[in-house]
Structure 1
Amino acid sequence: MQQIITAKLKLIPTPEQFQALRQAQLAYRDALNAVSCYAFEHGKTSSVKTLHRGMYADLRASYHLPSQLACRVVRQVAATYKGLWTKLKKNAEHRRAKITKKRFKGLDKPPHYSSPTVQYTYERDYTFQRDSRVSVGTLNGRISIPYQGYDKHIALIRQGASIGDAKLCYDMRKKTFYFLVALDIDVPEPSIEHLGEVVGVDVGIRYLAVTSTSTGNATFHPGKRVRHRANHYARLRKRLQQKGTRGAKRRLRRIERRERRFKLQANHSIAKQIVKQHPHTLIGLEHLTDIREGTKRRKHRRKKNGKSFEAVSLKVRKANRVYSQWSFAELQALISYKAILLGSLAIKVDADYTSKACPVCGHTTGKNRPRKGLLFVCQQCHYTLHADLIGARNVTLRTLLVRHDWSRTGCLSIIPDASDREAKAARLQRYAELRWSPEASQRLIARGH
């Protein structure tokens, strides 16, 4: 089984090499913006052939890019426009279904590239050499630069790991170049016999992650500290944006990077704890595609009880901002790749009604969560429990069902097919028949062996 990891290498260039790398970065960024404007003027095309035919000669003559980097620029812009067209079509579907009223504006103007990150292709634009050196292409040919990095990553490179594309990044604060290399490593493919436990993971705002095993053991990972820090950064950004000076804009960029590092570290820590606490486990995650559109709150009209429209609008904006900063996709991605490296496996199950369905009697309604609080109270059997733990247990039940199907058919579904509505309705019907019982869960796992 193949798993891709990223090796971060610190480059140690001479002053001349530093200048050559910087010139290549800026020329690459300017070329991206030129091709982006050309694509916008020619019908917002995402055709690689059209962009290559119209811009390749200009990229070579005006920006002095090597042939491989010029081709890479064209492919990167085409991929950007293809992604924007996909988002536009999905937005049109959501508007027809009245999921959202907001129009997608990503294609109203040409996409602008501000990051000077250069993408390289292995054995075409860069190669590794002896004595911890890497040969990198620039505007004036190849240069050989020594590098440093994590010992395990360097050992993988020297031992002949499958090497993929790389990115050349520049840290303006440290004035340092970093080389991010994709390494494709072989890991043992987990089988159903080695995955002796099942764990469900529910992600959220107040608790970044809540886990539940098939026996009922639960773990809570609170997000209060992360949420308060994010609110602090939001208030600080608002003040700096109102100020609008050059110094304020520089401070804004520093704050954005600091907040990004803080959230990434928090997600790394939580993912590592979950994976290490549950070795050789089948981990169930919620399939949360388009979750922001479903959870986004709308503005309300003026209340009759005397509340002003401004107060309600401020509350809605704050709630939407919190949801927009919810980094659940990053946390799930970290759990997935860390699980494979430690002998576990992460799959995704449907997230529909995981916080509304009672795992004991199956009664499903939004009234089971009074005022959408942290307490779950079933309106039929009066089963009471922490709402996020209810979600984790429902994910555990659905993961158990997937494991049972795996043992019965020999085929494992990593991600549920959300495009087939009839198949999804059949899955939801099967989920509605599940009931929480730690003893029955263990018997189901035993039958899976």
Structure 2
Amino acid sequence: MSLLSVKCKLVPDASTAEKLSRTVNQFANACNYALQVAHRDSVWNKFALQRAVYRELRERFGLTANLAVRVIARVGKRKGKKAKSFKPNSVDYDQRILSVNIEAETVSLSTVDGRVKIPMHIGEYQRQLLRTAKSIQGGVLVRKKGSWHIYLWCEHDDPPVINPNGFLGVDLGIVNIATDSDGEVYSGKHLNSVRHRYRRLRQKLQKKGTQSAKRLLKKISGKEHRFASHVNHRVSKCIVAKAQRTGRGIALEDLRGIRERVRLRKPQRATLHSWAFHDLAQKIRYKAERAGVPLVFVDPRNTSRECPACGHTERANRPTQALFRCVVCGYSGLADHFAAVNIGRRAAVIQPNAGAWNAAHGYHATCKPRTSVRGR
């Protein structure tokens, strides 16, 4: 079984929106109160924390029984993390306090002012996912910039995983978003130009500092992120479709912690920190799971310095960012392509133990319900 989070826009009237706002605010206040108690008394066990704060959550904040339990569950996840307060922007729901009518396009939610029924917009792709789901496990109500959305957690049967005939290696990068072992390049030129344009615009507006500049900064916030997410959706769909069509698995590098490991000059740091490799990897991951395509993460060390012809590994094999030329055998070509070939070969070697390797490195077969689907 896997969970997929399907995002739908809500269209509440003024009265219902006010009820939702009060619920979001009280939910956040209750979370902050429970968090204070948890830190003060070092109580993180679900049942112990419930005994300590449940009655207060019901009486002081006016939450229903199930909303109070959702507060305790959310706060319990903060164990070992910094005491950062919760913001009033979302509420967690389970099956008992959320129900969906797909045909009528409505969702029923529990609030501090009773149960409300809210119209919502469902696209054709979202409708298909909701209809084919075995069940809806719950969801998250989100308020953002005056708009309301519901993220519904849909439980789906995992498709049969294919027995791969080799692996499609994929090298993720900044100049080229991705390059596969077949030699296909997904250029990042347009995305990087958009990022640079927004970065320059933000710098100018922040330097100006007027009220109109601040309004414009607020207006353009999120545009760059949405554009990058759209590009990553498009690239991930192409990669997964190719692997499925050719009966291969997908191999990616395990790039976690790369921002801390890499040392760059100051002008290059902004480019590195805006590199959305994790987002692209997660999109490839959940799309591959839904298509039954095996996904393997491999050790990234020296994938771009190893010669795919003779195996010689040396820094001098990369005379430039784009070019690979082996100093021993003279084999040369596009560096990203050769890196992708090496990634695919490493995946083929660890394939028999891929499940154990991925589990040991924190990768699991079931995708967490955090990836939204909007017509992808």
Partner of residue 391, structure 1: 339
- Unaligned 5+ segments in structure 2 are 363-376
Contact 1:350 1:416 in 2 (8 A): no
Given the alignment, which residue of 73, 80, 92 partners 1:119? 92
Q: Please say if residues 105 and 122 of structure 2, whose CA atoms lie closer than 8 Å, have aligned partners that are also in contact.
A: no
The amino acid across from 2:31 in the alignment is: L
Matches within 5 A, 1:31-430: 31-41=30-40, 46-49=44-47, 51-82=49-80, 84=81, 107=82, 110-114=83-87, 116-122=89-95, 124-129=96-101, 131-158=104-131, 161-172=134-145, 175-192=146-163, 195-212=164-181, 217-244=182-209, 247-278=212-243, 279=245, 280-297=247-264, 316-370=265-319, 373-403=321-351, 405=352, 412-413=355-356, 415=358, 417-418=360-361
Distance 1:32 1:256, change over 3 A: farther
Quick one: which amino acid aligns to residue 193 of structure 2? H
Measured against aligned partners, the alpha-carbon deviations of 1:243-282 in whole angstroms (never above 9, x if no partner) come to: 5556544443433311111110010011112122332321
Distance 2:273 2:35 in 1: 27
Q: Work out whether residues 3 and 337 of structure 1, in 8 Å CA contact, stay in contact via their aligned partners in 2.
A: no
Structure 1, unpaired ranges of 5+: 85-106, 298-315, 420-449
CA contact (8 A) 2:109 2:116 kept: yes
Identity percentage over the alignment? 29
Deviation at 1:199, TM superposition (A): 0.6
1:147-193 CA-to-partner distances (Å, cap 9, x unmatched) read 23123433443455222231112342xx432111011212421231x
- 2:133, 2:154 within 8 Å by CA — same for their partners in 1? no
**Aligned partners of 2:166 and 2:348 also within 8 Å:** no
Rounded Cα–Cα distance in structure 2 between residues aligned with 1:18 and 1:260: 27
- TM-score, normalising length: structure 1: 0.72
Runs of 4+ in 1 over 6 A off after TM superposition: none
What is the CA–CA distance in structure 1 between the aligned matches of 2:78 and 2:215, rounded to whole Å? 27
Q: Distance in 2 between matches of 1:333 and 1:233?
A: 24
Query: How much does 1:131 deviate?
Result: 3.0
Amino acid at match of 2:99: T
Secondary structure at the aligned position of 1:230 is classed as helix
The amino acid of 1:331's aligned partner reads: L
- One-letter identity of the residue aligned with 1:294: R
- Contact map agreement 1:296 1:323 (CA 8 A) in 2: no
- Residue 366 to residue 51, structure 1, CA distance change in 2 (3 Å): farther
SS in 2 for 1:80: coil
Following superposition, the deviation at residue 352 of structure 1 comes to 1.6
Q: What is the root-mean-square deviation in Å for CA atoms of aligned residues?
A: 2.7
Q: TM-score, normalised by structure 2?
A: 0.85
CA distance in 2, matches of 1:416, 1:182: 23
Larger radius of gyration: 1
Q: CA deviation at 1:119?
A: 1.4
**241 and 263 in structure 1: CA distance in 2 versus 1, 3 angstrom threshold:** same
- Structure 1 CA distance for aligned equivalents of residues 236 and 309 of structure 2: 29
Distance 1:147 1:81 in 2: 35
